[in-house]
Structure 1
Amino acid sequence: MENKINILVVDDHQLIIDGILSSLSGSDSYKVSSTNTCDDALRRIKQQLHSEPFDVLFTDLSFDNTPQNAELDGGESLIKAIKALEIDIKIGVISGHTETNRVYNVISNLQPDAYILKNHAGAEELDFAIKKMLNNERFYTYEIHQKILKRNIVQIQMDEVAVQILKELPKHPKISNLEGIITKESGGFLKLRSIENKLANLRIDLDANNNTDLVLKAKELGIID
């Protein structure tokens, strides 16, 4: 008899867990357990390492109902702890977080095997994600994939002068005020015409309607704080 894929689901909202369990219940290939805290998740993962090890972990990122004395305050802490212990388990994030900067940082720093949005966590997407993960491939919900792709493209196009302009722009009522502030990479100050040209190109790159929209999109992409 083929061994079942052992899955642990972690979320502090029982309704979310119930929904994920329901989505996974249609397959006889899965054995699914759940818990509401990251501390308990790590304890169970370590406890079952040599008896019935988990193959896949699905965790949320934010845990609003974490006990005050908890050692792990959320999914990111849980993932870091698992990686620090070098535990052999596939890790998938199931989250409602779609902010590009948050998503980008989680994927870049923690490198989960999957990132799935909660409103996409249906049977078909979860099943596909699990197969990808167990085949040592990454899986991201389409919206997440597009955000990362766009963030990477923007990152390649962004230089120090562009970041300077985007950071200074909200501080000044007129673009002309930026002259004498923005410095070239080679030293010296950028002329107003060059600043205006740079802004025009940035609006095209970030698909912004105006400079206010440009700053908002730069913040959403995590280029500036």
Structure 2
Amino acid sequence: MFTKVLISDDLGSINQGVLSVLDNLGINNVQQVQYCDDAYLKIKRAILDEAPYDLLITDLSFKADHREQKYPSGEDLIRALKQEHPELKIIAYSVEDRLQKVRLLMNTYHTDAYVCKGRHGLVELEKAIQLVYDNKNYLSPQVAQAISHKTDLEINDYDIELVKLLSNGLSQEDISIHLKDNNISPSSLSSVEKRLNKLRIQFKANNAIHLVAIVKDLGLI
């Protein structure tokens, strides 16, 4: 079992629950931080001291305060650490349950497990720790479909942005203007129309409102 664990979460009450799970697993060498920058520095320091952490458990959302952060979110922290130290095991423990976010963390950043905070969160976290220790992945049941082949939809960040703007009441012409103003391409009206039409066909949506509803139900926005 893991012998040295770091918890990164700005809510002390959540940390207590995680500590109880680790204690049940016989893991006693546990340290806690409330800022992602501190987590990054501790992990780097431990590697230099030849006493690296085996596991990082981190939230994704951290409340901003007076302290400027290089890594303001758990997502930023995970991306940096997995690029520099891919051998480090990382479990994301978050209330975030949008499938697009889960897919990004699991498929692109190679997070080892994704556990949703909630009624069964601590039970799932204990299971995740055991599986990750055995070099396996884990996802909470409510987000497991994020990496299922059945929902491996051809949709990217650009598509998500289009549907978000659509859900905010913008017309296709307004979306085109917004994209141009923010230097997002392609931004022409014809490109926006073609892409939204392709998404409607892909998701079998009857119209724009139906498309937004489907994408929301899938947890993509």
TM-score by length of 1: 0.68
CA contact (8 A) 2:92 2:114 kept: yes
Give the Å deviation of 1:129. Answer: 1.1
CA contact (8 A) 1:48 1:54 kept: yes
Looking at structure 2, the residues matched to 36 and 93 of structure 1 have their Cα atoms a distance apart, in angstroms, of 15
Looking at structure 2, the residues matched to 200 and 59 of structure 1 have their Cα atoms a distance apart, in angstroms, of 35
Q: Secondary structure at the match of 1:73?
A: coil
CA contact (8 A) 2:9 2:34 kept: yes
Partner of 2:62: 63
Looking at structure 1, the residues matched to 166 and 93 of structure 2 have their Cα atoms a distance apart, in angstroms, of 36
Distance 1:9 1:76, change over 3 A: same
What amino acid does structure 2 have at the position aligned with 1:202? Answer: K
Q: Secondary structure at the match of 1:69?
A: coil
Looking at structure 1, the residues matched to 151 and 219 of structure 2 have their Cα atoms a distance apart, in angstroms, of 11
Aligned residues: 190
Give the Å deviation of 1:222. Answer: 7.2
Looking at structure 2, the residues matched to 12 and 98 of structure 1 have their Cα atoms a distance apart, in angstroms, of 19
Distance 1:134 1:201, change over 3 A: closer
Partner of 1:216: 213
Stretches of structure 1 lacking an aligned partner (at least 5 in a row)? 157-163, 173-180, 185-194
* Equivalence map 1:60-209=2 (5 Å): 60-86=59-85, 88-119=87-118, 120-122=120-122, 124-149=123-148, 152-155=151-154, 171=171, 202-203=204-205
Looking at structure 1, the residues matched to 10 and 21 of structure 2 have their Cα atoms a distance apart, in angstroms, of 18
Looking at structure 2, the residues matched to 211 and 84 of structure 1 have their Cα atoms a distance apart, in angstroms, of 38
Deviations 1:113-172 (A, max 9, x none): 0000011331x422321221122211111111024327734439xxxxxxx99x989848
Q: Secondary structure at the match of 1:8?
A: strand
Aligned-residue RMSD, C-alpha: 3.7
Q: Secondary structure at the match of 1:7?
A: strand
What amino acid does structure 2 have at the position aligned with 1:28? Answer: G
Partner of 2:11: 13
Looking at structure 2, the residues matched to 168 and 118 of structure 1 have their Cα atoms a distance apart, in angstroms, of 30
Partner of 2:26: 28
Distance 1:219 1:171, change over 3 A: farther
Higher Rg of the two aligned structures: 1
Partner of 1:177: none
What amino acid does structure 1 have at the position aligned with 2:204? Answer: L
CA contact (8 A) 1:114 1:140 kept: yes
TM-score by length of 2: 0.69
Stretches of structure 2 lacking an aligned partner (at least 5 in a row)? 156-161, 173-191
Distance 1:66 1:104, change over 3 A: farther
